[in-house]
Amino acid sequence: MRFRALLPVLALVAGLTPALPAQAAPGDVWVILEPEANLSAAPKARSRTARGQLVVDALKDTAVRTQSDVRKYLKDEKLDSESFWVTNAILVKDATPAQVRKLTAMGGVRQVRPPKTYTLAEPVRRAAAGAAGTGVEWGVADINADDVWKEYGRRGEDIVIANIDTGVQFDHPALRASYRGTNADGTVTHDYNWLDTSGHCAGGAPCDTHGHGTHTMGTMVGDDGQGNQIGVAPGVKWITANGCQTCSEEDLVAAAQWMLAPTDSHGQNPDVSKRPHIINNSWSSTEPTDEPIIEDILQAWAASGIMGVWANGNSGPACKTSGSPGSRTLNYSVGAYDVNGAIASFSSRGPGQNGETKPNIAAPGVDVRSALPGGSYGLMSGTSMAAPHAAGAVALLWSAFPDLVRDLDGTRALLDASAIDTADARCGGPAEDNNVFGEGRLDASALLAVAKVGLGTLAGTVTDAETGEPVPGATVSVTGARSRDAVTGRAGDYSLRLIGGEYQVKVKAFGYDDATRAATIAKDGTVTLDVRLAPTARVQVGGTVRDGSGQGWPLAAKVTASDGAGHTWTARSDAETGAYRLDLLPGTTYTLEAAAVPRGYTPAVRQVTVGTAPLTEDFALTVTLACEAPGYEPVLEGVTERLDSGLPGGWSVTNADPGFPGYAHEPGWVLNDPGGRTNRTGGKGGFAIVDSDHYGLHHVQETTLTSAAVDLSEAAAPALQFASDLEPRVNGTALVDVSLDGGRTWANVWKKAGYPGARGPGLQVVELPQAIGRTAVRVRFTFLGQLSGWWGIDDVFLGHRTCEKN
C-alpha cells in the first residue's frame, strides 16, 4: 500500500484539492486555537443591534484571551500573520517546518494546517451578454414574487441583503438604486457597504471582473426602473464582499467576519448595526461532501440573526451529491428547476449530513436572466441562480412581517410549510420532502400567506401503553392545512411546526396498534399531544446469561433481538441472577445476541424462531483471548520484545519514498521519542514510535517496523500481543500485517484509520489461528500519514496465549 494512493482519498474526504508544495520551503498555515466562543446568550438580546454586539464581543474576547501566546511567538519570530476573531484562528505567512512544529506544540493550539481553496458553484451554462429585457423575469414570476408586491405593497423595504461572491457592478442600471451606498443626491459612499478582500477593484468602488456576483445580486434585487424587473425583492438595500473572487480561505474568512460587523473603507470603526439580514452564498466544496466547512463562522452568523442561503451544488443528477456548507443541517440550501418545473439535471441531490433532506427547497435556476458587468444582461444556469430567488423571498417575508426578522427557525419552517410539494423518489423521501426538490418548489406568495396565518407547534411523546417506555421510530402523520410527518427520537419525542388550523394526527409504530387523535394549532401556540400505543400480542423469550469459561457466575449483559427488517428489542440481564426477558412478536425469526457488560467476553449470537409459546434461551459467554474479564489472567508462552534499547536482532525499519517532490519520510519508526511523548502504551522504559505531528509539514510517513521470524509450530493458540498508544488525525492509518512464510507474503490482521484511534495505555491482542504449525511467523507495523498524530508500541509478544482462571 503506497501513500500516494491515499492523497486523493483525503481530497474527497475534505471536499478539497490540497495544493502540494513544489519543495520543502516556508509556507502559509492556519493556527486554529481552542476554545470556540459561547454565543448562547445572543438570541435572547432585546434588539437586533444588541444581539449582533453580543456575538462580536464574545468572539473578540475569546480571540484576545486565547491567541496572546501564539501572537507573541509570531512577533518574536518576525512572522507576518493575520489574526481573526470570527473564527479563533491566525493565518501565518511563510512559516518554516521548525516554526510549524513549535506552533503545533503550543498550549491551546488545536490544529495547524495549510490553507484551503474553495470554488464557486460555477454556472453550468451561460449566454453571451445582451441588452435589457422587458417585464418580469420568468423566475420572479414563477415564485409569485410579483404577486407579493401587489398584495402586500412590500418589495423588501427595510431589509439589507448581501452576497459573498465575485463582487458586484455597483452602478449597473438594475442595481445602482438599491445599493446601500447610493445616496439620495446620487453620490455614493462605500463605507460599510463594500469589502474588497482580494484587491481586484481599483478606486475603492465595488466591481466584478467575473460576472457571477453581479448576476446573483441582480436576481435578488434587480430593477432598472424601466420595467426590466429581474429581482425578487427590488426594495431591499444591498452590500457585498468579493470573498469568492479567488475563493481562498483567507478571503472567505475575511468576508464572513466583515459581514458580522461591517467597517469603513479603511477597515476601521466596525458597526454591527450595519450587518446584513440575509447573505446569499454560491460557493462550496469542490466535491460533494458532508464535512463541516467554516461551521463555527456560520454558527456565529446564525447566533447574530443572519440568514444564510446556499446553493446546493451542480454535481447532479446522482444522489448524495450536495456540497458543503449547503449539505450541513445548519444551513438552508437550494436546488434548481427549469421553466417547466422540472428539476435541472445538474442540481445536486441529497441526502446530506446525518441523512438530512437536501436541498431544503428548490427554485428557478435554468436560463435565468439577470445583470452582468458592463451594464448588460445575460442568461446563466446553476443552483447559484436558484439560491438568490430564495434569499429574495426571505427578504420579502421579513419586510412584510418584521417580527420574523432574526427568527431563523421560524423562517425556515415557513419556507418549508409553504413550498409546493413536488414528488421525486429517485433519491429517497416522500412527495412533501424528498432529496431532489426538498420541501418543494419555492412560492413567495404562499410563504407570506402562511406567515399571515401563523405557525404553531405540535409536540409530544409516544410511549408504550403497558410499560410506559418510549417508542422510538414511530411515525407521526399530520393531515390538515398541510400534510407533515415526523419520526420519534430515542426518547419517543417528536415536534412539528404547522400552519395554524385543524389537524388529524395518526401515530404508527411497528408492533403497536395505530392511534388517531385531533389537534387544533393556533398561531405562535404549542399543543402537547402525548400518545400511548397499545402493543400487539407478544410472546415471552427469556433465560439467563452466565460465564462459560469456568467461573460460571451470572453476568450483566445486553440482550438484543433483531428481526432483520430494521426492528430491534433490547433487555438487560440482572447482574445477580443473569436473568433477562424480551417480549417479542409471534411468528417471527430473530437474531438473538447477548453481549456482556463487563469487558472481556465474546458476544454469543444465535437464530431463534418465536411461535406462540414462551421460549427459553440461555447463554454461556466465553472470555476473549485478551483476558480482560474479571477472574481470569493471561498465560504467555513465546517471545516478547521490550524495545528498550535499540532494535532487537532480526528486526528492521523500512521507510518508503513518499513519491512527492519536496516531501520526506523523516525518518519513520524510531526508538528515541523525538517528540517527547513519553511511554503511554502501558509498557515501561523505551518504546518504538512514529511521530507524524513532530515531523510536521512536508513530511509524509510510510514507515514499517518488521519483526524477526518466530517459530509457532508448537503454539496451539498463536497470538500477537502489543502495548499501543495511537493518536491519529483524520488522515492517519495504522496497520498490522502477518507473514506465515518468513516475510515473502503478508496479510492484514489489524487496522485503525482516522478517528477515534486507540489512545493508550492499551493492550492489543490479535488471534492468529492461521499461524498454527508455522515455523517462520513475522509481523510488521505500518503507519501512513501526514501531520497525522503518532503511534507508539511496546512489549511485542508472539506465541501461545491462553486465558485461565485466577
Which residues are known to be catalytic?
165, 212, 384
DSSP string across 256-300: HHHHHS---TTS-S--GGGS-SEEEE-EE-SS-----SSHHHHHH
**Rounded Cα–Cα distance for residues 233 and 230 (Å):** 9
Q: Which of 513, 172, 219, 208 is nearest to 363 (CA)?
A: 219
What number of other Cβ atoms are within 10 A of residue 759's Cβ? 13
Given its phi and psi angles, is residue 198 left (phi above 0), alpha (psi -120 to 50 degrees) or beta?
alpha
Q: What are phi and psi of 633, to 5 degrees?
A: -145, 150
Buried b / exposed e over 403-436, threshold 16 CB at 10 Å, is ebbbbbebbbbbbbbbbbebebeebbbeebbbbb
DSSP class of residue 781 equals E
What number of other Cβ atoms are within 10 A of residue 638's Cβ? 18
What number of other Cβ atoms are within 10 A of residue 25's Cβ? 11
**Cell numbers representing residue 436 in the block:** 431532489
Which burial class, exposed, middle or buried, applies to 745 when counting CB atoms under 10 A from its CB (0-12, 13-18, 19+)?
exposed
Reduced to 3 states, what is the DSSP secondary structure of residue 527?
Answer: strand
**Cα angle vertex 360, ends 356, 364, to 5°?**
150
Buried b / exposed e over 522-561, threshold 16 CB at 10 Å, is eeeeebebebebebeeebebbbbbbbbbeeeebbebbbbb
Q: Where are the beta strands (DSSP E) in 151-203?
A: 160-164, 194-195
**Rounded Cα–Cα distance for residues 7 and 745 (Å):** 26
**Rounded Cα–Cα distance for residues 600 and 598 (Å):** 7
Alpha helix (H) residue ranges in 545-635? none
- Is-contact 451 404, C-beta < 8 A? yes
Residue type, 584: L
- Is-contact 228 190, C-beta < 8 A? no
**Rounded Cα–Cα distance for residues 614 and 592 (Å):** 15
DSSP class of residue 354 equals G
**Cell numbers representing residue 47 in the block:** 434588539
How does strand 539-547 pair with strand 615-616?
parallel
Alpha helix (H) residue ranges in 341-407? 383-400
Q: Which of 546, 559, 543 is nearest to 593 (CA)?
A: 559
DSSP class of residue 428 equals S
